[in-house]
Amino acid sequence: MTNVYVRQKPLLENDKKIVSVISDKQLNIEKNYITYDGQQKKKFLKYNFDGIFNSSSSNDYIFDKIIKNNLNDDFTCFMYGQTGSGKTYTVLGTIGNEGLFIKIGNHLISSHECLFLSAYQIYNEELKDLLNSNKTIKMYETDNKNFEIPELTYKKITNINELETTLKDIKKFRTDGINNINFNSSRSHAVLMFTIKINKKILCIRIIDLAGNERSKNSKILNFESRQENKYINSSLFALKECIRSIDSKNKHIPFRRSKLTSVLRNCFTKNHNSIMIATICSNLNNYSDIVNTLTYASKVNNFKPIPKEEIFIPSNKYPKLPSIQKKKKEKISYKKENFIISDEEVRIESVYSSESEQSAFKINNMTPILLEYKNFIKAKIKNYKSINKNIDLYLENYPSKSSSKYLSEINKDSLTSIDQTLQELRIMERIKRRSLFN
């Protein structure tokens, strides 16, 4: 199950505070609005979580309060929030102020003899090994619907000095960028993983630093590379939100395989895995919409019921199979896929198509932001149609005549036809995307 906590970033001297901590589990967001008769009023949005850390809470306090007692089993801690809200500071810390990564590592070193560390980043939907000079590595699917990364480097850690040296290497290869909000904005999702052995059982403890959602109005996009980074970050975070929505709505299909990020985070939302989400926020007025966005999705994670691992349905062929898995697959006469029986001939065709699917995964992933832009385009068309329709009504009220009525009705009809055509194109694009993902 996933517990959700919120951490506030300290305000600057001239910042106007709009977030108030009511208790250790509740906070309010202040919103000013003007009524229809011109009166200025306030309203408060209330949010409840498993815990709230105010701006004075230290990394030491957070570690002792919510992390330390979870390190005896498989565990994931991931940061979620807008850019510049303190996610990387919470994970990696600064000089003289250790982050959760060092604190977790130090605790594990003192209590376990055999400790291994691995680290990779998801950059532009590619996995990069941070302990092997940012080498591109692949994620593979196993028969039990888990994901493995066979090429990932595992480094044995025996003391705190080795851990700190390794952290410097991680920071060296982690991809950063510059924007208007943050001088060192993370341009990738970083996954830091400790592997330990307890009583013949291998445990994995992961700390995940998600890149922040950067809107075009807030980001200083300088070149094509920056735009590409921004597109992949937003696309993967959108996929995460879609998974959260699906679980919250109790949908049968959870689209965990829509991105590398959601594939990595899949186990965080199952009953048999302990995980913590720390939602970081900047509590000033300028960040109102980002605060509401972050807390809304954090609330959904906090409220939904975890799903049993065996109930997760994942369509095949987005990721390549391990060689041994491919061999077993060819030996099967038939198998079930979501209520449909697929024949041996279809299995053969699908195995041929899997390589094509891997090559086209890049194009498929790019369709999500395109669909979003198209939906916004449709909204603008509908808004324009409503405006035209309103003007037609006003004109007919003042200048009623059969000829003008007929002419304006034709304009109205053309607008509706244009919108219908656009909606039809959108439906076709969505069907193509779904077919590409499920085939």
Q: Which helix (H) or strand (E) holds 264?
A: helix 260-265
Residue 316 domain flag? no
Shared domain for 70 and 95, answered yes or no, is yes
CA–CA dist 157, 32 (Å, integer): 52
Q: What pLDDT is stored for residue 96 in this prediction?
A: 82
Residue 72 domain flag? yes
Shared domain for 90 and 182, answered yes or no, is yes
Shared domain for 13 and 112, answered yes or no, is yes
Shared domain for 153 and 199, answered yes or no, is yes
Shared domain for 306 and 348, answered yes or no, is no
Q: What pLDDT is stored for residue 254 in this prediction?
A: 85
Residue 169 domain flag? yes
Shared domain for 233 and 327, answered yes or no, is no
Shared domain for 419 and 341, answered yes or no, is no
Under a CB-based contact definition with an 8 Å cutoff, are residues 378 and 426 in contact? yes
| CATH assignment at residue 69 | 3.40.850.10
Q: What pLDDT is stored for residue 14 in this prediction?
A: 82
Number of structural domains (the chain) is 3
Shared domain for 216 and 329, answered yes or no, is no
Which residues partner with 41 through β-bridges? 33
Shared domain for 7 and 128, answered yes or no, is yes
3-state helix, strand and coil shares in percent for the chain, rounded to the nearest 5: 45, 25, 30
- Measured CA to CA in angstroms, residue 304 lies from 46, 244, 245 at distances of 18, 9, 9
Residue 283 domain flag? yes
CA–CA dist 323, 315 (Å, integer): 19
Q: What pLDDT is stored for residue 416 in this prediction?
A: 63
What is the span of the domain harbouring residue 336? Answer: 323-365
Shared domain for 141 and 87, answered yes or no, is yes
Mean pLDDT by 10 residues, the chain (439 residues): 91 84 90 79 89 93 95 93 91 90 94 90 94 92 80 93 92 70 70 88 92 62 76 90 84 86 84 88 87 90 68 45 46 36 37 40 53 68 69 62 57 63 67 54
Q: What pLDDT is stored for residue 80 in this prediction?
A: 93
Shared domain for 303 and 348, answered yes or no, is no
Shared domain for 266 and 150, answered yes or no, is yes
